[in-house]
């Protein structure tokens, strides 16, 4: 805010000098309007009949068809898939934070050749594309009967999220002053106690950020879900969407139901973003910008 | 023996021979960190080894074999890589991946920098930033599906164009146009994310630099060129690496773009390496080629490594302290 104020004070003078900036501002608002428009249009279309959507794409729902959602949830299998998605996203996020936090903490605290090598190893993991891991993990999980299982998928998501979570949390823990721990240790607290009672509360913001990131990733992840899941009662939402599109190829597209499906996929992210949007942006920008 | 060693360490400490070791045994906190290191790090390290390192090793191993996942593996030496070298579909996939990475990257970063410049001086910037950022959180397949509807031959976009007097609209979703469309969608959705990150970097730049530049008579472009760009360089170079990794991972956007043909996979003109790997390993018909698929994946990994090293080389410069 302190930065924005002086800028605004001079903005009138600046506008005179920069027509490019003024055109740019208009373009920004145009794109913003297009984004919001697209969102609203998707929602409006999800409440309309298939023919109405196809013939008059810009019409408004005259009599809202909630039935599209009922149909998507039951016939399209989105209901069960949404529950699976919620379970996978939350469980993998909680697990990865629990596993990564202690590791990131000791990596941030101890600076030796071993720890910097380990930190580097996690950072390099950030650069490994999913396509390298998908076949080996599929083969490995089928050996232990964890394909077509939500637990197998959760395990995979925890693994995939580890490098980023460790990297992000190492940054957060490095910012926690060591004085706090010293006091705890002098008071006779054990290592686990120090970590849980002193460090975790202080670094809570970082832990929540890491958790939220993995919820978002787990909700949207598609490649591994498609490869690993196939039973109707095990699939997550993106897989249900792909299956729905494939079956509609044969039986003719029901656009209203498809838009309802898209809205089901979108809505939790929109809710999350309206709730803690600035925190998400801040977490991503600070976590990555470092 | 033990006592002797501690004796001698203590002695050395007094003499001042090895101050580092002496300090280490001094602080109870340090000692605790040392003792708890492996127990604390072990779960993550084990999971990382099992779910990351071993699979990468296994992928490298598989890439030298012909394997359908069921029957025994047959040694193929380097032949999988030779097959890839000659496969036109893989060529297209690799070219597309690179095209998305480079062309898409240049456009996205140019737009993100322009947006940063505009947003800096604009009212309600936080609101605009939030709206532009939101697509990052949405599953990319949503945009593929929406584009398939919006740009269909009798879809809304063509209707608007018709209304504006365009009688022969482009064939948006023809196989030749799929990749540019994918790229356009990607740029549209990714720009907001990179704008937000670069903006956070730009906000760190002290205001007095801009004031000084203005006193020196710099216009908006010069302020950007001589203050913003050099000061935000570190953030931009991190973003470039991030872009490399994330574009290579694009999968579902291409998979569903424009409504997939029956059978699941889009026409191979629009494939990137991720779709190629998926297509070879889990084909709709025929035997899976797991060896070939992992070889393709490893080529992609190599590509990421080369591009990342190059980017870090090219973008590296002295760190500016302020």
Highest mean pLDDT among A175-184, A202-211, B54-63: B54-63
> Residue A253's pLDDT is what?
73
Which residues in chain B have Cβ-Cβ distances shorter than 8 Å to A178?
Answer: 29
Chain B closest-CA separation from residue A75 CA (Å): 19
Q: What is the DSSP string of chain A?
A: -TTHHHHHHHHHHHHHH-HHHHHHHHHHHHHHHHHHHHHHHHHHHTTS-HHHHHH-TT---SS--THHHHHHHHTS-HHHHHHHHHHHHHHHHHHHHHHHHHHHHHHHH--SHHHHHHHHHHHHHTT--HHHHHHHHHHHHHHTT-TT-HHHHHHHHHHHHHHHHHHHHHHHHHTS-HHHHHHHHHTT--HHHIIIIIIHHHTHHHHHHHHHHHHHHHHH--HHHHHH--STTT--HHHHHHHHHHHHHHH---HHHHHHHHHHHHHHHHHHHHHHHHHHHHHHHHHHH-
Chain B closest-CA separation from residue A18 CA (Å): 7
> Residue A12's pLDDT is what?
41
Give tens-digit pLDDT for A266-290.
999 999 999 988 888 888 777 665 5
Q: Nearest chain A residue to B214 by CA: give it.
A: A14
Does residue B173 register a pLDDT over 80?
yes
CB A165 within 8 A of CB A94: no
Task: State how far Cα B310 lies from the chain centre.
Answer: 15
| Band of residue A248 on the pLDDT scale cut at 50, 70, 90 | confident
Q: Among A126, A229, A130, which Cα is nearest to B278's?
A: A130
- Show Cβ contacts of residue A244 under 8 Å, excluding neighbours closer than 6 positions: A76, A77, A78, A258, A261
- CB count within 10 Å of CB A251 equals 7
Which residues in chain A have Cβ-Cβ distances shorter than 8 Å to B68?
Answer: none
Task: State how far Cα B318 lies from the chain centre.
Answer: 24
> Residue B30's pLDDT is what?
79
Q: Nearest chain A residue to B150 by CA: give it.
A: A57
Residue A177 forms contact with B (CB below 8 Å): no
> Residue B184's pLDDT is what?
94
Does residue B322 register a pLDDT over 80?
no
- Show Cβ contacts of residue B204 under 8 Å, excluding neighbours closer than 6 positions: B231
Question: Counting Cβ atoms within 10 Å, is residue B92 exposed (0-12), middle (13-18) or buried (19+)?
Answer: middle
Buried b (16+ CB within 10 A) or exposed e, A232-244: eebbbbbbbbbbb
Give tens-digit pLDDT for B106-145.
999 999 998 888 887 788 888 999 999 999 999 999 999 8
Does residue A16 register a pLDDT over 60?
no
> Residue A51's pLDDT is what?
78
Which residues numbered 173-212 in B keep a CB inside 8 Å of some CB on A?
193, 196-197, 199-201, 203, 207
CA A131 – CA A108 distance, rounded (Å): 30
> Residue A141's pLDDT is what?
95
More confident site: A5 or B36:
B36
Q: Do B36 and A115 touch (CB under 8 A)?
A: no
CA A15 – CA B144 distance, rounded (Å): 38
Does residue B169 register a pLDDT over 90?
no
Which residues in chain B have Cβ-Cβ distances shorter than 8 Å to A275?
Answer: none
Q: Nearest chain A residue to B158 by CA: give it.
A: A57
> Residue A5's pLDDT is what?
42
Does residue B277 register a pLDDT over 90?
yes
Give tens-digit pLDDT for B285-296.
888 999 999 999
Please work out, in degrees rounded to the nearest 5, the angle formed at the alpha carbon of residue B191 by the alpha carbons of B188 and B194.
Answer: 160
Residue B281 forms contact with A (CB below 8 Å): yes
More confident site: A6 or B314:
B314
Does residue B24 register a pLDDT over 60?
no
Phi-psi group of A145: left, alpha or beta (phi > 0 → left; psi -120 to 50 → alpha; rest → beta):
left
Residue B14 forms contact with A (CB below 8 Å): no
| Residue found by looking up tokens 């941030």 in the block | A108
Q: Which residue(s) pair with B65 in the sheet?
A: B75
| Band of residue B18 on the pLDDT scale cut at 50, 70, 90 | very low
CA B318 – CA A66 distance, rounded (Å): 59
SS3 B66: strand
> Residue B260's pLDDT is what?
56
Share of chain B above pLDDT 70, in %: 89
Does residue A7 register a pLDDT over 50?
no
Chain A closest-CA separation from residue B32 CA (Å): 7
Nearest to B62 among A103, A135, A220 (CB): A135
- CB count within 10 Å of CB B27 equals 13
Q: What is the rounded average pLDDT of the residues B70-84?
A: 90
Q: Do B261 and A24 touch (CB under 8 A)?
A: no
SS3 B286: coil
Give tens-digit pLDDT for A98-120.
999 999 999 998 888 999 999 99
> Residue A288's pLDDT is what?
64
Count of residues for chain A?
A: 290
- Any idea which of A185-199, A248-262, B21-35 has the lowest mean pLDDT? B21-35
Give tens-digit pLDDT for B62-71.
999 999 888 8
Q: What is the rounded average pLDDT of the residues B208-231?
A: 87
SS3 B65: strand
Residue B52 forms contact with A (CB below 8 Å): yes
Q: What is the DSSP string of A138-205?
A: HHHHHHTT-TT-HHHHHHHHHHHHHHHHHHHHHHHHHTS-HHHHHHHHHTT--HHHIIIIIIHHHTHH
> Residue A268's pLDDT is what?
94
SS3 B119: helix
Q: Do A133 and B52 touch (CB under 8 A)?
A: yes
User: A interface mutation test: which of B24, B30, B51 has the most A CBs within 10 A?
Assistant: B51
Does residue B14 register a pLDDT over 80?
no
> Residue B248's pLDDT is what?
95
Does residue B263 register a pLDDT over 90?
no
More confident site: A35 or A6:
A35
What ipTM is given for this predicted complex?
A: 0.87
Give tens-digit pLDDT for A132-182.
999 999 999 999 999 999 999 999 999 999 999 999 999 889 888 888 888
Which residues in chain B have Cβ-Cβ distances shorter than 8 Å to A227?
Answer: 278, 281-282
| Band of residue B3 on the pLDDT scale cut at 50, 70, 90 | very low
* Helix pair A78-109, A237-251: axis angle to 10 deg: 150
Does residue A6 register a pLDDT over 80?
no
Nearest to B51 among A159, A185, A249 (CB): A159
Chain B closest-CA separation from residue A87 CA (Å): 17
Highest mean pLDDT among A183-197, B24-38, B61-75: B61-75
> Residue B284's pLDDT is what?
81
Q: Where are the alpha helices (DSSP H) in chain B?
A: 2-15, 19-24, 28-48, 54-62, 79-86, 88-99, 105-120, 125-133, 140-150, 156-163, 178-203, 207-215, 220-223, 229-231, 233-248, 252-256, 273-281, 290-315
| Band of residue A64 on the pLDDT scale cut at 50, 70, 90 | confident
Q: Give the mean pLDDT of chain A.
A: 86
> Residue A247's pLDDT is what?
82
DSSP code at position B218: -
Q: Give the mean pLDDT of chain B.
A: 85
- Show Cβ contacts of residue B219 under 8 Å, excluding neighbours closer than 6 positions: A17, A18
For every residue of B222-283, which 3-state class applies, written as one string? HHHHHHHHHHCHHHHHHHHHHHHHHHHCCCHHHHHCCCCCCCCCCCHHHCCHHHHHHHHHCC
DSSP code at position B74: E
CB B76 within 8 A of CB B188: no
Q: Among A173, A128, A286, A192, which Cα is nearest to B301's?
A: A128
Q: Do A191 and B35 touch (CB under 8 A)?
A: yes
CA B25 – CA A164 distance, rounded (Å): 33
């Amino acid at each position: 805010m302190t930065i924005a104020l002086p800028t605004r004070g001079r903005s009138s003078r600046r506008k005179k000098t920069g027509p490019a900036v003024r055109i740019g501002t208009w373009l920004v608002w145009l794109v913003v309007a297009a984004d919001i428009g697209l969102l609203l249009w998707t929602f409006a279309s999800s409440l309309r009949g298939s023919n109405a959507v196809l013939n008059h794409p810009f019409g408004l729902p005259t009599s809202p068809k909630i039935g599209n959602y009922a149909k998507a949830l039951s016939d399209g299998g989105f209901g069960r898939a949404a529950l699976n998605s919620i379970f996978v996203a939350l469980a993998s996020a909680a697990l990865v934070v629990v596993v990564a936090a202690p590791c990131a903490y000791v990596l941030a605290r101890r600076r030796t050749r071993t720890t910097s090598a380990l930190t580097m190893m996690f950072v390099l993991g950030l650069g490994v594309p999913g396509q390298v891991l998908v076949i080996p993990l599929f083969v490995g999980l089928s050996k232990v009967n964890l394909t077509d299982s939500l637990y197998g998928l959760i395990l995979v998501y925890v693994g995939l999220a580890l490098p980023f979570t460790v990297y992000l949390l190492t940054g957060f823990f490095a910012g926690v002053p060591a004085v706090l721990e010293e006091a705890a240790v002098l008071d006779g607290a054990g290592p686990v106690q120090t970590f849980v009672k002193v460090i975790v509360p202080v670094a809570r913001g970082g832990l929540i950020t890491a958790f939220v990131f993995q919820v978002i990733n787990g909700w949207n992840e598609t490649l591994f879900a498609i490869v690993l899941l196939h039973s109707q009662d095990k699939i997550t939402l993106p897989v249900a969407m792909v299956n729905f599109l494939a079956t509609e190829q044969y039986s003719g597209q029901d656009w209203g139901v498809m838009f309802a499906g898209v809205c089901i996929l979108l809505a939790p992210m929109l809710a999350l973003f309206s709730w803690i949007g600035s925190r998400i942006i801040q977490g991503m920008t600070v976590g990555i910008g470092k | 023996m033990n006592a002797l060693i501690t004796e001698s360490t203590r002695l050395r400490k007094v003499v001042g021979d090895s101050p580092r070791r002496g300090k280490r045994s001094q602080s109870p906190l340090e000692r605790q960190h040392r003792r708890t290191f492996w127990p604390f790090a072990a779960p993550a390290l084990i999971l990382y080894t099992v779910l990351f390192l071993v699979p990468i090793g296994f992928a490298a191993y598989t890439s030298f074999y012909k394997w359908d996942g069921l029957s025994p593996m047959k040694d193929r030496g380097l032949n999988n890589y030779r097959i890839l070298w000659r496969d036109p579909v893989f060529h297209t996939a690799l070219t597309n991946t690179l095209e998305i990475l480079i062309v898409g990257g240049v456009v996205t970063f140019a737009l993100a920098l322009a947006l940063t410049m505009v947003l800096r001086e604009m009212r309600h910037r936080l609101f605009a930033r939030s709206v532009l950022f939101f697509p990052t959180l949405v599953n990319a397949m949503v945009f593929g599906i929406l584009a398939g509807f919006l740009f269909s031959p009798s879809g809304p976009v063509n209707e608007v164009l018709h209304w504006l007097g365009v009688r022969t609209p482009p064939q948006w979703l023809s196989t030749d146009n799929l990749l540019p469309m994918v790229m356009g969608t990607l740029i549209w959705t990714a720009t907001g994310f990179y704008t937000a990150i670069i903006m956070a970097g730009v906000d760190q730049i002290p205001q007095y630099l801009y004031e000084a530049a203005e006193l020196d008579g710099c216009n908006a472009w010069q302020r950007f060129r001589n203050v913003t760009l050099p000061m935000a360089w570190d953030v931009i170079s991190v973003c470039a690496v991030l872009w490399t990794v994330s574009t290579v991972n694009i999968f579902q956007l291409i998979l569903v773009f424009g409504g997939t043909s029956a059978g699941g996979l889009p026409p191979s003109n629009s494939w990137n390496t991720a779709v190629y790997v998926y297509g070879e390993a889990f084909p709709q018909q025929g035997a899976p080629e797991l060896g070939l698929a992992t070889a393709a994946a490893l080529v992609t990994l190599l590509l990421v490594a080369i591009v990342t090293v190059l980017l870090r080389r090219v973008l590296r410069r002295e760190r500016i302290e302020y």
